[in-house]
Amino acid sequence: MDTSSKSTTFSSRSGISRTGLEARLFARPEGLPAPGDFEITEVAVPDPASGQVLVRNLFMSLDPGMLMLIAGQSGLPMPRYEVGEVMHGDAIGEVIASADPSLDEGDLVMHRLGWREYAVARAGLFRRVDWDAYPTPSTYLSFGLVAYVGLMDAAELRPGDTVFVSSAAGATGGMAGQIARLKGAARVIGSAGSRDKVAHLTGSLGFDAAFDRHDGPIVDRLREAAPEGIDVYFDNVGGEQLRAAIEVMNPHGRVAVCGALSRRSEASTGDLLSVLVKRLTLRGFT
pLDDT of res. 35:
94
Indicate whether 203 belongs to any domain: yes
Indicate whether 191 belongs to any domain: yes
pLDDT of res. 139:
80
> Are 156 and 279 found together in one domain?
yes
Nearest CA among 226, 244, 144 for reference residue 187: 226
> Are 123 and 196 found together in one domain?
no
Indicate whether 164 belongs to any domain: yes
Indicate whether 4 belongs to any domain: no
**Vertex 202 angle, CA 209 and 195, to 5°:** 90
> Are 59 and 104 found together in one domain?
yes
> Are 133 and 187 found together in one domain?
no
pLDDT of res. 261:
59
> Are 165 and 81 found together in one domain?
no
Indicate whether 3 belongs to any domain: no
Indicate whether 5 belongs to any domain: no
pLDDT of res. 216:
94
Cα gap 216→237, rounded to integer Å: 17
Look at residues 114, 137, 160 and tell me which one is the last residue of a structural domain: 137
The alpha carbons of the chain give a radius of gyration, in whole angstroms, of 22
Look at residues 102, 137, 172 and tell me which one is the last residue of a structural domain: 137
Residue 278's H or E segment, with its range, is helix 269-278
Phi-psi domain of 35 (left: phi exceeds 0; alpha: psi -120 through 50; beta: other): alpha
- 245 phi/psi in degrees, rounded to 5: -65, -40
> Are 171 and 273 found together in one domain?
yes
Indicate whether 1 belongs to any domain: no
Cα gap 31→34, rounded to integer Å: 9
Tell me the pTM: 0.74
Number of Cβ within a 10 Å radius of residue 233: 28
Look at residues 137, 160, 184 and tell me which one is the last residue of a structural domain: 137
Angle formed by the axes of helices 239-248 and 218-225, to 10°? Answer: 40
pLDDT of res. 15:
47
> Domain range for residue 260?
144-284
Could you give the C-alpha distances from 66 to 32, 75, 97, 260, in angstroms and in order? Answer: 11, 12, 30, 13
Indicate whether 261 belongs to any domain: yes
* Sign for the pseudo-dihedral over CA of 62, 64, 66, 70: positive
List the pLDDT tens digit at each of the 286 positions of the chain: 665 544 444 444 544 458 999 999 999 998 889 999 999 999 999 999 999 999 999 999 888 778 888 888 766 677 888 999 999 999 999 999 999 999 999 999 999 999 999 999 999 999 999 988 877 887 888 788 889 999 999 999 999 999 999 999 998 999 999 999 999 999 999 999 999 999 999 999 999 999 999 999 999 999 999 999 999 999 999 889 999 999 999 999 999 998 765 554 455 545 788 999 999 999 998 7
Total of domains in the chain: 2
Residue 8 has what DSSP assignment? P
Cα gap 220→204, rounded to integer Å: 25
